Amino acid sequence: MTTTTAPRRATTDSAPRRKANTIRRSHHVFAYALIAPALALFAVAFVIPIVYSIGLSMFSREAGSGGAYAPKEDAFVGLGNYVSVLADPTFWASLQRLAIFAVIMVPLMMLTSIVLALLLDLPRVGARAFSRTAIFLPYGVPSVIAALMWGFLYVPEISPVYQLAGSIGLELPPLLRGDQIYTAIINVVLWGGIGFNAIIIYTALQSLPAERIDAARLDGCNEWAIARHVKLPHVLPATVLTALFSIIGALQIYSEPQMLSSLTTAIHSTFFPLMRVYRDAFAHDDLNSAAAASILLALATVLLSLLVLGLRTFTSRKANS
Amino acid sequence: MSRAFPARARQPRNVIATIVLLGAVVYFLLPIVWVLFSSTKTTGELFTTPAFSFGSGFFDNIVDLFQYQGGAFAVWLGNSFLYSIVGATLSTIVSAAAGYALALYDFPGKKAIMIGLLAGVLLPTITLAIPQYMLFAQWGLTNTYWAVLIPVSITPFGIYLAFVYAKASVPVELLEAGRVDGSSEFRTFSSIGLPLLLPGLVTIFLLQFIGVWNNFLLPYIMQSDADLAPITVAMYLMLNRGGSEPILYSIAIAGSAVAVIPVVAFVLLLQRFWRLDLISGSIK
């Protein structure tokens, strides 16, 4: 990212320079005025909540003496809440489930998105505009509604998928039970996310100059070689961006399992980390522990994102050297 | 499509690619088509008739849906529109102003602001929802429209997109020319900058509209008052209750169909106005 610097022309005369400085100062005032609402809202919605919850995470509310309605007393416990979150097996179990989910979901999401984008970009593909629109459509569907619709489609008595499989003698496993619940959740997330990612990568493909593809084709490259050596390197930045969004999205998975949990007993209240945070904050009324856990989760997300961005810089540097 | 292959136009279609794509289309359309068919069925028909057939209960389902809890569904739908329209408008204005300032002005503290906002892009907004709830509860903002509208009106990603778009589409020379002509900074912004930014701002507005419409966790946490719930939260609460009352299945399905239609129509109608190259980083 480059920053624009206001043109600074060398002036020997002091009067114009003073004039230029005042103009620049009035520019500053205008620029600050433009950015002020964003900064104020950023403070209210990001900075202050984070600082406040870091503070909360270091206290513990002890029941005061004198009955259930006595005011609770805040006691400073330092990193005590973090220690107890990290010592809680349900926290690690929820992280483990999150890891299983993300390790399967993210690569599938990226692979499918890239393949669909490349297919849409092939010459002489039929029904291209229709396919593009249909693939993108789920992006407009709220994730809880997607989970609700798929939730019904997972019910064998109602589902056309089970009906179809049954009619050709195939018996599909029930997805809302046992470990198959991962398949159920991953499918909803993939259904809702692939379209957006595929279209982003496809849009990046569209900006590839036609001459580069024609040149490769004249050199005797087949479509596979063109995709591998011309198209993929070109869409790497867009792909990294969508991978980043997929990872961030995976770590904060909440809506889909929460919705599906009303149709199954396989998803309990501490299934994924954010669900556990919600339980602490609202079912257990333990905001301090919830604050500690959400800060740990935010830290992990930022670290992972930086890792992905770092890998990107590393690979592009390697490619350039 | 930007690329044309006139010499190859008469060659046979790429059959395998077309078939794979159409397979994907079936997968992506399946739940939507299913929910539209199912919204016409009574709960009994749901279990007894073929999936893709029309039932006889469409009118009853819609009436039941809008009479559910004394007409609450219309309120939830209205809330979703309110949050999406107001939230997306506010965040587009905030993003446009901030992105323009960051792209075209040089001022002390700019770098720090850029880094702070970029960190905000990486921070999942949903992870922030619980800290936001804690603070807003302290301030007495929970259970008001503001509890949802304030957090959604600041999106670091929107500012980033406005910044990228302003950099690519507003030439500094044009602003310089405006200054030489004696127009004020505000006038330059409103009469030269904003019109050039408009296509990018439409994209930011659409992304935000859909983002807010689809948001679940933020209103779910902030609003315990059902009158302030958007459709996503309402559908969750409805299905949660439906577990014990299967009769609610047909209402929940009709509700899903009604909730899906506006945004799907929105995506279809406005697909042509998206500047998705803005997101893919391939803006020219």
Q: Considering CB atoms only, which of A48, A124, A128 is closest to B11?
A: A124
| pLDDT score, position A25 | 60
Which of B15, B21, B180 is the best residue to mutate to test the A interface, defined by the most A CB atoms within 10 Å of its own CB?
B21
pLDDT tens column, B173-208: 888 888 888 888 888 888 888 999 998 999 899 889
Position A72 scores a pLDDT of: 66
Tokens of B34: 């299913």
Chain B CA closest to residue A201: B280
Cα dihedral value A202, A204, A209, A211, nearest 10: -40
The mean-pLDDT minimum among A316-320, B10-14, B173-177, B277-281 falls in A316-320
Residue among A144, A157, A294 whose CB faces B130 most closely: A294
Give, as one character, the DSSP assignment of residue B246: T
Euclidean distance between CA atoms B40 and B34, whole angstroms? 10
With vertex at residue B150, the alpha carbon angle to CA B149 and CA B153, rounded to the nearest 5 degrees, is 80
Q: Please give the helix or strand (H or E) that residue B254 lies within, else none.
A: helix B248-270
The whole-number pLDDT of residue A183 equals: 96
CB contact under 8 A, A238 and B11: no
Four-residue CA torsion sign, A138, A144, A146, A147: positive
Under a CB-based contact definition with an 8 Å cutoff, are residues A139 and A198 in contact? Answer: no
What are the boundaries of each domain within chain B? 15-55, 66-281
Q: How far apart are CA B192 and CA B188, in angstroms?
A: 5
Would the CB atoms of A200 and B31 count as touching at under 8 Å?
A: no
Within 10 angstroms of residue B173's Cβ, the number of other Cβ atoms is: 9
Domains of chain A: 22-74 (no CATH), 89-320 (1.10.3720.10)
Q: Which residue of B has its CA nearest to A192?
A: B28
CB atoms near residue B143 (< 10 Å): 15
pLDDT at residue A182, rounded to an integer: 96
Provide the 10 A C-beta neighbour count for residue A275.
21
Give the residue ranges of DSSP H helices in chain B: 15-38, 43-48, 58-67, 72-104, 110-122, 125-138, 146-152, 156-169, 172-180, 185-188, 194-214, 217-222, 231-242, 248-270, 277-280
Q: Is CATH 1.10.3720.10 the classification given to domain B66-281?
A: yes
Tokens of B144: 């008001």
Question: Phi first, then psi: what are they for A62, rounded to 5°?
Answer: -100, 145
pLDDT, residue A320, reads 61
Q: What percent of chain B has pLDDT over 70?
A: 90
- pLDDT at residue A14 in the model: 47
pLDDT given at position B268:
77
User: What is the predicted pLDDT for the residue at B11?
Assistant: 64
| Helix, strand, coil distribution of chain A in percent, nearest 5 | 70, 0, 25
CA dihedral (B122, B126, B130, B131) in degrees, to 10, reads: 30
Exposed, middle or buried, B28 (CB in 10 Å: 0-12/13-18/19+)? buried
At residue A73, φ and ψ (nearest 5 deg) are -110, 135
Other Cβ atoms less than 10 A from the Cβ of A62: the count is 11
Q: Alpha carbon A230 to chain centroid distance?
A: 28
| Separation CA A93–CA A87 (nearest Å) | 11
Q: How far is residue B149's CA from residue B81's CA, in Å, rounded to a whole number?
A: 12
Report chain B's terminal Cα–Cα distance, integer Å.
16
Average pLDDT of B103-126? Answer: 84
Which residue blocks in A223-263 are alpha helix, DSSP H? 223-226, 232-234, 236-251, 255-260
Largest CA distance in chain A: 91
Q: A70, A62 in Cβ contact below 8 A? A: no
- Do the beta carbons of residue B153 and residue A40 sit within 8 Å? no
What is the C-alpha radius of gyration for chain B, rounded to an integer number of angstroms? 24
Model confidence pLDDT, tens digit, residues B208-244: 999 999 999 999 999 988 899 999 999 998 888 765 5
Q: What is the pLDDT of residue A157?
A: 83
- Smallest Cβ–Cβ distance between B267 and the set A23, A45, A137 belongs to A137
Please give the interface size between A and B, counted as residue pairs whose CB atoms are below 8 Å apart.
316
Query: Could you give the 3-state DSSP secondary structure of residue A123?
Result: coil
User: How confident is the model over B34-53, as pLDDT tens digits?
Assistant: 999 999 988 888 888 888 88
Reported as a single tens digit per residue, the pLDDT across B154-176 is 999 899 999 999 998 888 888 88
Number of neighbouring beta carbons within 10 Å of residue A78 = 11
Burial of A267 (0-12, 13-18, 19+ CB in 10 A): buried
Q: Say what the pTM is.
A: 0.88
Q: Are A191 and B252 within 8 A, CB to CB?
A: no
Predicted pLDDT of residue A24:
59
Residues of chain A short of pLDDT 50, as ranges, are 1-22
Cβ-proximal residues to B171 (8 Å cutoff; 6+ apart), any chain: none
Distance of CA B95 to the CA centre of its chain: 15
Which value does ipTM take for this structure?
0.88
Q: Determine which of A111, A122, A203, A276 to mutate to test the interface with B (most B C-beta atoms within 10 Å).
A: A203
Q: Is the pLDDT of residue B253 over 80?
A: yes
